[in-house]
Amino acid sequence: MSGGVRSRYAPPAGRAPLAVALDAPDGATAVRWARAVAPAAAVLKIGMELFYREGPAVVAALRAEGLLAEPGAGGRGAGAPELFLDLKLHDIPATVAGGMRSVATLLPRFITVHAAGGAAMIRAAIEAAPEAEVAVVTVLTSLDAAALAAIGLAGPPDDAVRRLATLAVEAGANTLVCSPREVRMVRSELGDSVTLITPGVRPEGSDVADQARIATPGEALQAGADLVVMGRPITRATDLGGAARAVADSISAGRAPAGG
């Protein structure tokens, strides 16, 4: 319904477009991490590790401490980061629609689904959660060309990302998740109105871990990303707040010359 006509994401005034992935083993750890990083983040991302263990209770715990804003003007927690539920739904359309209705009650700004679920599934997701932004994952940033070939997607990752991004937008999505390396291509293909979210972001010289198609936050933003997602380089730091602030500052510095 209204999911396809959203405008492109912009962070709240004074915040860098940084989503911190709270990939924590339990709710207490997630709340502790969120207290440290919330001042520097525009968005807090909860994925399957945390949500499968804690469910909606962890969202309630974060809201109770004012660490999450509710979307929309005048929502509670104004000024706090918004909620990103990275649950990557991928099932038949009716099941995904039901899942979306369930999690939409948590008032997330973003919820992810896999583009590989197909156009009907993406449409069903958007219709089931008209207040949320359905962010469609094109190709996981951990997959390189060899890994894609092994699952039957032969050819450069760019081609798969282009196909899946186009399919998602034609199904009504306005928000896509891709690697920073594909941002320029997706933007030139699909235009200025789509919101592009990029994980696979690493500060210069940091541990790549299991990511494959990576770039620095500055490179992602310069290429045209709207929101960069970073987890372990921040959450594994000794000083999480300092690490988040350093990343946010580097993003803000990188955006300034391009005029935001």
Q: Which is nearer to ligand C5P, 77 or 233 (CB)?
A: 233
* Nearest alpha-carbon partner for 129 in 107, 157, 153, 150: 107
| Shortest distance in whole angstroms from residue 78 CB to ligand C5P | 26
Q: Which is nearer to ligand C5P, 2 or 239 (CB)?
A: 239
| Shortest distance in whole angstroms from residue 177 CB to ligand C5P | 5
| Known catalytic membership, residue 88 | yes
Residues in contact with ligand C5P by CB under 6 A are: 21, 23, 47, 86, 137, 140-141, 177, 199-200, 209, 211, 229-232
Chain residue at closest Cβ approach to ligand C5P: 231
Q: Which is nearer to ligand C5P, 26 or 64 (CB)?
A: 26
Those residues whose C-beta lies under 8 Å from the C-beta of residue 160, and which sit 6 or more positions away, are 138, 139, 148, 153
Catalytic-role residue among 35, 88, 184, 232: 88
Whether the Cβ atoms of residue 89 and residue 112 lie closer than 8 Å to each other: yes
| Shortest distance in whole angstroms from residue 259 CB to ligand C5P | 27
Q: Which is nearer to ligand C5P, 110 or 124 (CB)?
A: 110
Rounded Cα–Cα distance for residues 68 and 76 (Å): 8
DSSP states of 124-191: HHHHH-TTSEEEEE-S-TT--HHHHHHTT--S-HHHHHHHHHHHHHHTT--EEE--GGGHHHHHHHH-
Whether the Cβ atoms of residue 93 and residue 123 lie closer than 8 Å to each other: yes
| Shortest distance in whole angstroms from residue 219 CB to ligand C5P | 15
Which positions are annotated as active-site residues? Answer: 88
